[in-house]
Amino acid sequence: MKIFFDLLPVIFFFAAYEISGFFPDGAHALVTNWLASDIPSDQAPILIATFVAIVATVLQIGIVWLKHRKVDRMLWISLIVIAILGGATLAFHDDAFIKWKPTALYWLFGLILFVSDMVFRRNLIRRMLEGQIRLPDPIWQGLSLAWALFFVMLGTLNLYVAFSFSQNTWVIFKLFGCTALVFVFALVQGLYLSKHLIEDNTGH
């Protein structure tokens, strides 16, 4: 359920894009009345989907705040990134901005992990997981750097798909491709870490 909630903006983005594609005339009429009269009809679905994703991200943060009375920094970062790049997509009617959004987010995550670990000596992955598992210090550092590198590579792959294939292919990749890659990488990491777990001998 948490995975679904975390993916809520992406799922709504995909759904809005696909539904708009099924009703091209209605989608085009909506964006021309809402934004400008000279918008090409094939750009209507991505503009509607972008707006829906922004709204979904705001709602996601609102739900988290009402439930926990605090919001994780990563959610705020996601909101800022999609507000800037999504807003630019709507303002300039150019899907290039929203195509950069996953890359900007992934690269930022990778940079945060790298700088926190190498500069400030604060391993964020360790802080998130050490309550559940115990690992040797070198493994914690390797795990952090592995995730940082993975996010950089995933962001680069997003750009390749976004600007080398059709818009529809990129939208599908954004939801299913990126999600699958994160899941597979996490699974591989889990299998690797299972070999390095430190047994808890405290009796708890």
List Cα–Cα distances, 95 to 34, 38, 115, in angstroms.
17, 15, 31
Task: Confirm whether pTM is higher than 0.75.
Answer: yes
At 130 the pLDDT is 76
Longest dimension (CA), the chain: 70
Q: Is the pLDDT of residue 195 over 80?
A: no
Q: Is the pLDDT of residue 82 over 90?
A: yes
More confident residue, 201 or 62: 62
Beta strands in the chain (DSSP E): none
CA distance 51 to 55: 6
Q: Is the pLDDT of residue 201 over 70?
A: no
